[in-house]
Structure 1
Amino acid sequence: MSTTIQKSTLAFLADLAKNNTREWFSEHKERYNAARQNYTNFLEELLQEMQQFEPAARGQKGKDLLFRIYRDVRFSNDKRPYKDHFGAYIAEGGRKSVYPGYYLHLAGGGRSFVAGGLWMPPAEQLKAVRQEIDYNLDGFRDIVEAPAFREKFGDLQGEQLKTTPKGYDKENPAIGYLRYKSWNATMPLPDEVVLQDNFLQVVVEATQALKPLNDFLMRPMQDIGE
């Protein structure tokens, strides 16, 4: 039987969101450790399933893909010491990769989601992806505007330029997609879905649906430096 996300894991994350202090966290360290282990075990099984269709999942370990719960507050006005969620990124090169990948966000209060795509790539890679979308707009639209894709993920999300990117005309038919600085597709995961026995299959099916988008975004990035 596959690993399920425990009610206690979501309850811990919901409580942490309301009690985000070092004192509270210290008192509930055992709950944190148990919740983190539950999430890590789930990631291990997810990786096993994804290896069948996604080479980037091969050779990865769940614990290495998990982002730290401790926030870096040095340059932030928000001084809460902890993130109120668990997050992991599956991509070629691991969780710090600049490449397209899959992100699983686990949080209390119905705030979980699974996402894919490309987040804030460096300038050279950003330019290459925009060029690929410009050259192959029909192929990109076939992915992100397909009814089945839209039903799962809705419209693409991500930070966008307010102006036209350098080198492109505002009349370009692809301009709506060229303004993006990140191309993200996100599927919300209500608590009742997260706690289902078949949650692993829900996430696997979402990542399979995201793979064509990631493959499209990956191609021009791989060409850099070749």
Structure 2
Amino acid sequence: MKRVLSFLTDLVPNNNKPWFDANKARYKEAQAIFNDFASDLLERVQSFDPEVRGLTLKDCTYRFYRDLRFSKDKTPYKKHFGIFIAKDGKCSGHSGYYFHIEPPHAGYLGGHLMCCGAYAPEPKVMRSIREEFMLNGEALVKAMSKAKGFEMEWDGALKKIPRGFPQDSPYADYFRLKKILITRYLDDAFILEPDLAKRAADLFATCTEFNTILNRAIDYAYEEY
């Protein structure tokens, strides 16, 4: 992964077509290295989570070229590589496993990380997840506690508990969430050490129960609302 980090680090202050064209060979090499890692990670996650079996690499990875049509930021290339392994694919709205490589100074997510959950759920999905906390909060909190080194993301949470949810619930704070995401932040050493796919998969395996419970709530939302 050293060459992946080197390419991304150099791209950050040079995010323009002339520089990219001059370094196209480095990009292709970095993309190939990441794809090899992502394929290995996907296969390992599929070995312990049957809900993501059958997915291909294309179902889980993203274009490196940015869509500039509706963005004020006109830099043409992403400054990171990522893979999102989720039931029915990356655009399904389901909870899944996301792995992200980004130089710390790139300014997108702030560095390398891995996370599980649903980043931007539809309102009906978030309501179903809140109901899951209300009815099955103990199991969800227990599942989160098994996720090794992952912590809940609280940024953007509502200041007040939404109407219709009990103020006195032991899980009331979770009703305030607008996304449901547990994250583990990583340093360069983690990315550069050998057997990255195995180490990442071993950590993701501790999140499987969390994803399974969330996807039950998400499926219910799509079926009932």
Equivalent residue number for residue 173 of structure 1: 170
157-166 vs 185-194, greater mean Cα deviation: 157-166
Which of 19, 26, 31 lines up with 2:21 in the alignment? 26
Aligned length: 218
Equivalent residue number for residue 108 of structure 2: none
Q: Map Cα deviations across residues 181-225 of structure 1 (whole Å, 9 max, x no partner).
A: 111111122111111112122101111011111111111222342
Preserved contact between residue 52 and residue 86 of structure 2 (Cα < 8 Å): yes
CA 1:213–1:156 in structure 2 vs 1: closer, same or farther (change >3 Å)? farther
Query: Is 2:167 aligned against 1:153?
Result: no
Shift of 1:85: 0.2
Equivalent residue number for residue 184 of structure 2: 187
Query: Is 2:211 aligned against 1:214?
Result: yes
Equivalent residue number for residue 98 of structure 1: 93
**Aligned residues: CA RMSD:** 1.9
Shift of 1:158: 5.2
Equivalent residue number for residue 17 of structure 1: 12
Preserved contact between residue 87 and residue 94 of structure 2 (Cα < 8 Å): yes
In structure 2, the gaps of 5 or more residues are 106-110
Shift of 1:107: 1.7
State the TM-score, normalizing by the size of structure 1: 0.88
Report 1:14-163 matches (<5 A).
14-109=9-104, 111-144=111-144, 146=145, 149=147, 152-157=149-154, 159-163=156-160
Tell me the amino acid that sits aligned with residue 182 of structure 1. Answer: K
Shift of 1:109: 4.1
Equivalent residue number for residue 3 of structure 1: none
SS of the residue 1:186 aligns to: strand
State the TM-score, normalizing by the size of structure 2: 0.89
Structure 2: how far apart are the matches of 1:219 and 1:41? 31
